[in-house]
């Protein structure tokens, strides 16, 4: 009979991993809460040994064995968050950064430095600053924009990356990740999974090699921490660690601590907010003041809708809902992408990607649905209405 201690452990549910991943050694350490390590440097009396470890990191990018050396190389608290996020996304590793944009920058630099391939194929819409980073060529990259069906034709010998965001910011448009991955051929696929989170989809299960998160959003979940993270295989993680060390876009230990804590409630928050968001999407679709509602088939806590009236009047009229950029917090936020988050994208590109001037993006929080609907109703006011004989729009999953 097989010894119980040597048996392969049964796979755990996502909700269980969210609570326990990155914390497995705490009981052995005599701790319940994860420790927070603020050290920027660490003492060592073995200069030769330290030199050998640093040389090994410079050569391979592998995480250092033994005690840390310097906070820009690694931090124990941040490492716990990375371990937990990799577990939730189903990847071998994850590498955390100071922001989502720092994480995307590191991916682009890593691909260019390891392969020399600087051409990127990307599908709009993306988060506005991601769009700008690719389009402006600030890192020496060249981008070809296409729709999902055109990815294969857009590939070139120097293509180093294909990037999509699904559901996309801010229209919530979705792509078939398996089809996209097939179209990529041997080119790595990067998926921005910020809106869905691993609670609703795990892109690596559909063939993606890299999964990007603005950890500022749902992973943190409370609007009080900024960070970014890339979940990936260990081979790519090694290059990302080297880029992070060289460029300095490290995640602060306190942010790592807060993000690890945020993961423990991620499934509960996302599922609760998603239930409310789906309810609000249905109500908005039936409201004669709303021209179009966008809500993804995968679900989630994001709702986008287009008004017949002035969307800026809605922004000015909310009282319970917070008019602010960002998303994924416990409280509900609303913003006008054409004015703020996607203002940096050229107007023609913005509109062709479905980001109309009348589009509002709402990140639904954990408030009671009736209170949120009451606030939305009064903010919409007595604006223009849908024609009486017009067909009531369905809740759309673009």
Residues forming the active site: 72, 127, 192, 217
With the CA atoms of 168, 170, 172 and 176 taken in that order, what torsion angle do they form, in degrees rounded to the nearest 10?
-20
Q: Radius of gyration over alpha carbons of the chain, in Å? A: 22
- Give the integer Cα–Cα distance in Å for 89 and 192: 12
- Give the integer Cα–Cα distance in Å for 117 and 204: 22
- Give the integer Cα–Cα distance in Å for 309 and 382: 9
- How buried is 22 (Cβ within 10 angstroms: 0-12 exposed, 13-18 middle, 19+ buried)? buried
Residue 128, helix vs strand vs coil: helix
Reference 258, options 94, 72, 64, 33; nearest CA is: 33
Reference 305, options 374, 390, 398; nearest CA is: 398
**In contact, 97 and 228? CB cutoff 8 Å:** yes
- Give the integer Cα–Cα distance in Å for 35 and 32: 9
- Give the integer Cα–Cα distance in Å for 162 and 212: 13
- Give the integer Cα–Cα distance in Å for 144 and 135: 9
Distance of alpha carbon 29 from the chain centroid: 32
């Amino acid at each position: 009979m097989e010894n119980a201690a040597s048996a392969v452990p049964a796979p755990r549910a996502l909700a269980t991993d969210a609570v326990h991943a990155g914390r497995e050694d705490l009981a052995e350490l005599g701790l319940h809460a994860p420790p927070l390590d603020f050290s920027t440097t660490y003492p060592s009396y073995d200069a030769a040994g330290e030199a050998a470890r640093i040389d090994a990191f410079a050569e391979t990018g592998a995480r250092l064995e033994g005690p840390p050396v310097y906070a820009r190389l690694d931090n124990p608290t941040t490492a716990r968050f990375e371990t937990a996020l990799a577990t939730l996304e189903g990847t071998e590793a994850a590498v955390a950064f100071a922001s989502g944009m720092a994480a995307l920058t590191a991916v682009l630099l890593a691909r260019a430095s390891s392969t020399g391939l600087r051409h990127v194929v990307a599908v709009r819409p993306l988060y506005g600053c991601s769009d700008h980073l690719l389009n402006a060529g600030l890192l020496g990259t060249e981008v070809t924009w296409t729709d999902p069906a055109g990815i294969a034709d857009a590939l070139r010998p120097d293509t180093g990356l294909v990037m999509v965001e699904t559901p996309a910011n801010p229209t919530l448009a979705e792509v078939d990740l398996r089809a996209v991955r097939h179209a990529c051929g041997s080119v790595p696929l990067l998926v921005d999974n910020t809106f869905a989170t691993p609670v609703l989809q795990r892109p690596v299960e559909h063939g993606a090699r890299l999964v990007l998160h603005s950890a500022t959003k749902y992973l943190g979940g409370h609007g009080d921490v900024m960070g970014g993270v890339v979940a990936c295989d260990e081979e790519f993680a090694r290059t990302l660690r080297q880029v992070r060390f060289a460029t300095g876009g490290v995640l602060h230990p306190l942010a790592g601590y807060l993000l690890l804590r945020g993961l423990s409630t991620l499934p509960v928050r996302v599922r609760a907010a998603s239930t409310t968001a789906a309810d609000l999407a249905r109500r908005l679709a039936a409201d004669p003041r709303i021209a179009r509602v966008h809500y993804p088939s995968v679900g989630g806590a994001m709702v986008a809708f287009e008004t017949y009236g002035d969307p800026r009047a809605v922004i000015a009229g909310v009282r319970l809902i917070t008019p602010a950029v960002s998303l994924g917090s416990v409280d509900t936020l609303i913003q006008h992408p054409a004015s703020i988050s996607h203002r940096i994208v050229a107007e023609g590109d913005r509109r062709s990607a479905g980001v109309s001037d009348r589009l509002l993006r709402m990140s639904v929080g954990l408030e009671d649905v009736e209170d949120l609907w009451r606030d939305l109703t009064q903010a919409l006011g007595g604006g223009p209405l849908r024609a009486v004989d017009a067909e009531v729009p369905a809740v759309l999953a673009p």
